[in-house]
Structure 1
Amino acid sequence: MPEIQRTDFFRLLDRISDCTATDEEIALYNACLNAVQSEEQSWDESILGNKGKLEQAIFNKISAEIQVQPVALNLSLWKKIMAAATIVLISGISLYFYRQHMPDLTTPKTEIVNDVKPGANQAVLTLANGKRIVLNASVNGEIAEQSGIRIRKTADGQLIYTLSDSGTAANSGGPVAFNTIETPKGGQYQINLPDGTRVWLNAASSLKYPVRFDRKERKVSLQGEGYFEVAKDKHKPFKVNSGTQELEVLGTHFNINSYADEPSSKTTLLEGAVRLFPHGGQDLILSPGQQAVLASGRMKVAMVDPEEVLAWKNGNFVFNDEGLETIMRKISRWYDVEVSYQRKPADLTFTGVVSRSRNISAVLNALDKTGKVHFKVEGKKVTVW
């Protein structure tokens, strides 16, 4: 345990319990906790105080200090964050819990030469004729009309397709016109398709879709990550091709994470039902709350917390026993930075929540205070050491 008298430690417990402890005192308490608690040991109330009371007191302190509503989490994840997590990050207020000994929690070693702002509503729309429109640089309102469909951009980062007055006449035979919307690193966007389906694209993602769906099916192609709220049409199934699989629904809500740099493709169902057709594998049907993970040609299905899956859409990062490299890939995509490693800490996982509206320093400094990993930010480059 760090150098602290037993009486001082209990005085520290009192300050945490009545929500008057400073961030430095909370860090000192965590250093004490880390020194005496290991994976094999249980919580010793004679040393650490009443666990439930302290967790509630710390939560009350967070709630009193933050300026925005914290993200809703399921009970099991919250318990992990408060009792056994590596870090907790809620709207910029940080608490640190780590089960291994840390030499110094109060002196971050991360060097921020320049801070990096978070991502925003950015995308490029490519029309059927090859014209490219930078949506974040174009004026709001109607930006194009093709095949009897008006395309309108809104101020809050939405692209809306609606039937124009000449739409019925234009709905005849002929080649299908496709549009593609692409979000860069550091970008996100929402698209309202002609059938009423809504799609949210995460950073570094793209969606290719017909300006008009045909009379038999509605088919789109996704790269990266997207959340879909599919308009119901029992006569026209909605299909999504994500490279390694095809998904078919009639009307439902689901999320697909299929980045090329991730080791697996994840499909999560929130509402309704979907049928998955893995390329070269056996098709299967998902139920709400289930996630199908496709890796190396093999599919596994498990129940997950939808709030964790949709955290990105709701403006948050949620880490649940996630490895450092997985976290850094998310950071790379959202902050549009290049990540390199001087060393890769083995078996280092984190659990916590942080707003995606924070600058990159808010995330990296909190990870740094675990004492197990440090960073240097220069321009658009992040070095992990």
Structure 2
Amino acid sequence: MYMNPLMTDIEFRELATKCQEGIATEEEQAAFDEAYQLLLNRHPSWDTERMGEKNALREEIYEGLVSRVNKHKANHKVYSIARYMSAAAVLIIVGVAAYLFLNKSDRKEQSLAAKIVPGTNTATLTLGDGRKINLSDAENGALVEQTGIQITKSADGQLLYKVEGTEEGVDQSKISYNTVETPKGGQYQIILPDGTKVWLNAASSLKFPLSFASSVDRKVELNGEAYFEVRKDKSHPFKVINEGQEVEVLGTHFNINGYKDEGAIKTTLLEGSVKVSSTYGVNSEEVIIRSGEQAVLTKRGIEVVKKDIEQVVDWKNGDFIFQQESLKDVMSKIGRWYNVKVVYDQDVNQKLTFSGQMSRSNSIFEILKSLESTDEIKFEIKESTIKVTNKD
């Protein structure tokens, strides 16, 4: 079979595969060589961006071929050194051509994906007087002092609120509220004036007073997702307000996921106990949840379920852990962390479920390839948009 001017891409790929596997006939090998030579004539220059570094690529292919050549030598009579080197050269040429064409789409995807990077510690602090501080650009050390409260950025990316003297010495008549807001592709850790630690996930915000001393409770407002380690203070309950929900604790560790596009507020307890109250409508509802339980609040009410704690706080620990999660939920997490828009072909089943664990520091290319390995879906990247389609 010789080169046909109308040879399709599929036919060429099939030939390349046979040549790589060493099962091509002499005629098929000749047809492939002819096609390869025509392509070289059409593209005489080496495209580093598309093909990679020439020497590195040659080494990568050569390593894969050596084992095949050695196996061939073990099973057949030994050729002269000149003939062996000639055969190896042919194998490398064929390997390069096959490698380029079989991996062209991957390399293009990698090039596009390189522009999409994992999230980082980045947030904006809005002071009570309306001033905004970009915490990514701000230098480490003291940022500002407000009514007896020193606000500091630490070297490890934390925002610390420290009372100068005692809280009784803070001018309570001038207490204002600060807001820390993370964008898509951002996260940040805050230590509140009472010592409570808060980890803020991507596309989230936390509003809180500069001092809790004059209040009967310690009340903060959350949009999005955050993990709390609340400092114990029995005389001042800690309350987190979401749209439609209030969580009250004395001192404990818990996670709240209240992204509006997810249709529910999920409060998960790691230790201790908390009271979750619904503020939807005129009929309030409240439940007490304990370690390992999650309260799922919707407009229909509150449902308490058992939950894997490690999976809930995966984001805080730098991972994605999926346990029978729907495609829609998986891609929502990926979209927020990598700051990309996700769109779906009309016939894609967004209820497909996935399980697995991946690092949030992985490239978007690695993440998507892992999901594609299920042979259910595939992805196309265009600028900052990921399109999800069914696999052919």
Please, what TM-score do these two structures have when normalized by structure 1?
0.70
Give the Cα–Cα distance (whole angstroms) in 1 for the partners of residues 364 and 287 of structure 2: 39
Q: Deviations over 1:48-83 (max 9, x none)?
A: xxxxxxxxxxxxxxxxxxxxxxxxxxxxxxxxxxxx
Structure 2 residue 387 is matched with structure 1 residue 383: yes
* Identical aligned residues as a percent: 48
1:299 corresponds to? 302
Query: Are 2:223 and 1:220 equivalent residues in the alignment?
Result: no
CA distance in 2, matches of 1:108, 1:369: 18
CA drift at 1:176: 3.1
Deviation, 1:107, is: 8.1
Are 1:309 and 2:308 matched, yes or no?
no
Residue aligning to 1:150: 150
Matched letter for residue 350 of structure 1: F
Q: Is contact 2:179–2:205 with CA below 8 Å preserved after alignment?
A: yes
Residue 141 of structure 1 corresponds to 141
- Is the CA contact (8 Å cut-off) linking 1:345 and 1:372 kept in structure 2? no
Matched, 1:348 2:352: yes
Q: Which amino acid in structure 2 is aligned with residue 293 of structure 1?
A: V
Bigger Rg over Cα: 2
Shift of 1:167: 5.6
Indicate the SS of the match to 2:335. Answer: helix
Once residues 347 and 325 of structure 1 are traced to their aligned partners in structure 2, the CA distance between those partners, rounded to angstroms, is 7
CA change 1:134–1:321 in 2 (3 A) is: same
The answer on whether the counterparts of 1:108 and 1:368 sit within 8 Å (CA) in structure 2 is no
Q: Which residue of the partner structure matches residue 123 of structure 2?
A: 123
Q: CA deviation at 1:249?
A: 0.7
The residue number in structure 2 matching 1:190 is 189
**What is the CA distance between 1:319 and its match in structure 2?**
0.4
Write the distance in 1 (CA, Å) between the matches of 2:274 and 2:242. Answer: 14
Check conservation: 1:109, 1:374, Cα contact below 8 A.
no
Q: Which has the higher contact order (CA 8 A, sep 6+)?
A: 1
Could you tell me which residue of structure 1 aligns to residue 368 of structure 2?
364
Instruction: Give, as a single letter, the amino acid of the residue that structure 2 aligns with 1:351.
Output: S
- Structure 1 outlier segments of 4+, above 6 Å: 106-110
Superposed, 1:1-385 pairs within 5 Å as 111-112=109-110, 113-115=112-114, 116-165=116-165, 168-172=168-172, 174-213=173-212, 214-280=214-280, 281-343=284-346, 344-345=348-349, 347-385=351-389
SS class of match (2:231) = coil
How far the C-alpha of 1:183 sits from its partner, in A, is 0.3
**Aligned residue type for 2:234:** K
Question: Which amino acid is the alignment partner of residue 121 of structure 1?
Answer: N
Residue type of the partner of 1:240? V
Maintained 8 Å contact 1:147/1:212: no
Counterpart amino acid of 2:129? N
Structure 2 unmatched runs, 5+: 1-101
Q: Cα–Cα, structure 1 residues 108 and 313, in superposed 2: closer, same or farther, change >3 Å? A: farther
The C-alpha deviation readout for 1:252-294, integer Å capped at 9, x for no partner, is 1100000011121100011111111111431111111110011
Question: Shift of the alpha carbon at 1:333?
Answer: 0.3
Q: Following the alignment from structure 2 to structure 1, what is the Cα–Cα distance between the partners of residues 249 and 105?
A: 49
Contact persistence 2:123–2:135 (CA under 8 A): yes
Alignment match, 2:88: none
Shift in alpha-carbon separation, 1:285–1:153, aligned structure 2, 3 A: same
Structure 1 residues 267, 109: closer, same or farther in 2, change over 3 A?
A: farther
- The 1-side partners of 2:295 and 2:105 are apart by 39
Looking at structure 2, the residues matched to 117 and 199 of structure 1 have their Cα atoms a distance apart, in angstroms, of 24
Amino acid at match of 1:128: G
CA 1:293 to 1:175, structure 2 compared with 1: closer, same or farther past 3 Å? same
SS in structure 2 of the partner of residue 137 of structure 1: coil
Query: Separation in 1 of the partners of 2:242 and 2:227?
Result: 13
Residues in 2 aligned to 1:305 and 1:114: alpha-carbon distance in whole angstroms: 31
Q: Deviations over 1:74-93 (max 9, x none)?
A: xxxxxxxxxxxxxxxxxxxx
Displacement after TM superposition at 1:142 (Å): 0.4
TM-score (norm 2): 0.68
Given that 1:246 and 1:276 are in contact with CA atoms closer than 8 Å, whether structure 2 keeps it comes out as yes
Deviations 1:178-220 (A, max 9, x none): 0000000000000000101000000000000000113411000
> How far does residue 380 in structure 1 lie from its aligned partner after superposition?
1.0
Aligned to 1:29: none
Contact 1:339-1:384 at 8 Å conserved across structures: yes
Secondary structure of 1:234's aligned partner: coil
Structure 2 letter corresponding to 1:179: N
User: Contact 2:190 / 2:198 at 8 angstroms: preserved in 1?
Assistant: yes
1:240–1:247 CA contact under 8 A, matched in 2: yes
Contact 1:206 1:224 in 2 (8 A): yes
Shift of 1:109: 6.9
Give the direction of change, closer, same or farther, for the CA distance of 1:353–1:201 in structure 2 (3 Å limit).
same
Give distance in 2, aligned partners of 1:131 and 1:118. Answer: 28
Aligned length in residues:
279
How far apart, CA to CA, are the structure 1 residues paired with 2:148 and 2:273?
32
The structure with the largest helix share of the pair is 2
* Matched letter for residue 120 of structure 1: T
